[in-house]
Structure 1
């Protein structure tokens, strides 16, 4: 069993644990902006990931919602929040969200996600949301998550540095919007990096791409070594490059938008 490492500090008599990436939000304005970015009513199903000491939880429960499900991996904080905020609409699930089968969300969908995410689970979680949104249909209504600033920029990039497979894949399924940039001082203990509120919602009409599974493999290969041009990245594979101009093959993946990459895919797939 992995030994938990303590961050310098305790809150409410509970050790903060580095292994869980525990940095607790301490600015109410940030929470207010998260809640103002979504539409909640008495029928809303909301889930939160990593509640910590309930700083965001408290404000969610002040809204007229149908239910709040909280996924908290640290039993100490799960028990603390259950004791502090006794509310029949709240369900605490003491588990790692990445270990959960999302079929449990099916009955009360669509859901709104509000979370100050542990940074290490950002991409695995979003990929899981996309997968289950496809399987279950209408799983998500919308969400606002706090993520690392660098990660947020990669997600919304449409070209240049940081633009790549993650940008293209996540934008294919969800619409994204950058909200507030958050300084380290908004947290206890303060992280070493800036954070960003990121709004997202599933796209209503997702573009149909021929042999989509093959397309995403092609995209991974096109960006496998960002400094290399497309020709060098793709030549080890069995693509038909004969119909592609040298001008295009000399471009890097970062220099092509999604529409151009789909057109290239239609030329080379066999």
Structure 2
């Protein structure tokens, strides 16, 4: 007979089992957790949302800050562990999927920071979701797979510069902070991790059509080996516009500001 896995019992003080399908790698290094908690300024807002707290190693240090800490966690075992071990989080543990949840149900239109040790398998999606609600998010920091964190902060001209680099840097100052080895996790991942911080720019409203900007950036990088003249062909732009020198470039050669300039050129003709 196949043995059943023991179920989590909060009264035994068990540790939560990391679940592969959720991309869980629990941080176990107290020093790293403290350093991540210190990446936020806790200024200009009084609420912080931690995504995927697991067993609360980072949460513990966030609770020492002068802010109202909320956590959002999809794993039922982790939720039970947090309720048992962090009673000060009462009514601020949200058993929800961040990617599908409307944060206005909790926070209304309030400003808040987002932080976390993000599951690698959805980390890029978390950033895209954050960009959708950027009006509310003045600061964002946390741990990613190192190559993803580096890509977000990369500048034009690099082979790793891409959609996330442009979209994030149009609205936020992006800073790669430090690298974290696999040994600080349980179970250890197969790659290094990297911690970054995003600080929303004082003037984060673009001077172009923002929906068109997102569309142009994604279209360009979806065919990144082609020049913009070819990758944006489906926009059916007039020939005289397509003769502009900017269309001679490939997408990784353009800074976010040049993509804004490009969008402004396209606006009068885009359908």
**Into which bin does the TM-score normalised by the smaller protein fall?**
0.7 to 0.9
Greater alpha carbon shift after TM alignment, 188-197 vs 212-221: 212-221
Structure 1, unaligned runs of 5 or more = 1-10
Higher strand share: 1
CA distance in 1, matches of 2:145, 2:164: 15
Structure 1 segment 116-127 matched on structure 2, within 5 A = 116-127=117-128
Q: Indicate if the aligned counterparts of 2:170 and 2:256 stay in contact, CA closer than 8 A.
A: no
Residue 218 of structure 1 corresponds to 216
**CA distance, structure 1, for counterparts of residue 254 and residue 15 of structure 2:** 52
Q: Secondary structure in 2 aligned to 1:223? A: helix
1:240 aligns to 2:241 (yes or no): no
Report deviation, 1:60: 1.7
Give, in whole Å, the separation in 2 of the partners of 1:52 and 1:35. Answer: 15
Q: Structure 1 CA distance, aligned partners of 2:238 and 2:221? A: 18
Deviation by residue 1:125-164 (Cα, 9 ceiling, x = unmatched): 2222222233xxxx22323211111111221122121212
Contact kept in structure 2, 1:68 and 1:90, CA below 8 Å: no
Counterpart in the other structure of 2:94: 93
Distance of 2:101 and 2:72 partners within structure 1: 9
- Selected match of 1:22 from 21, 24, 34: 24
Distance 2:251 2:52 in 1: 36
Deviation at 1:245, TM superposition (A): 4.7
Q: How does 1:46-195 map to 2 (within 5 A)?
A: 46-65=48-67, 67-87=68-88, 91-107=92-108, 109-134=110-135, 139-159=136-156, 160-195=158-193
Structure 2 unaligned blocks of 5 or more: 1-12
Cα displacement (A) at 1:244 = 4.8
Number of aligned residue pairs: 255
SS in 1 for 2:139: strand
Contact 1:119 1:147 in 2 (8 A): yes
CA contact (8 A) 1:156 1:177 kept: yes
> 1:131–1:53: structure 2 CA closer, same or farther, 3 Å change rule?
same
Measured in 2, the distance between the counterparts of 1:133 and 1:263 equals 21
Q: For the structure 1 residues 193 and 39, does the alpha-carbon distance in structure 2 shift closer, same or farther, using more than 3 Å as the test? A: same
For normalisation by structure 2, the TM-score amounts to 0.83
RMSD of the alignment, in Å? 2.5
Q: 1:260 to 1:244 in 2, by over 3 A?
A: farther
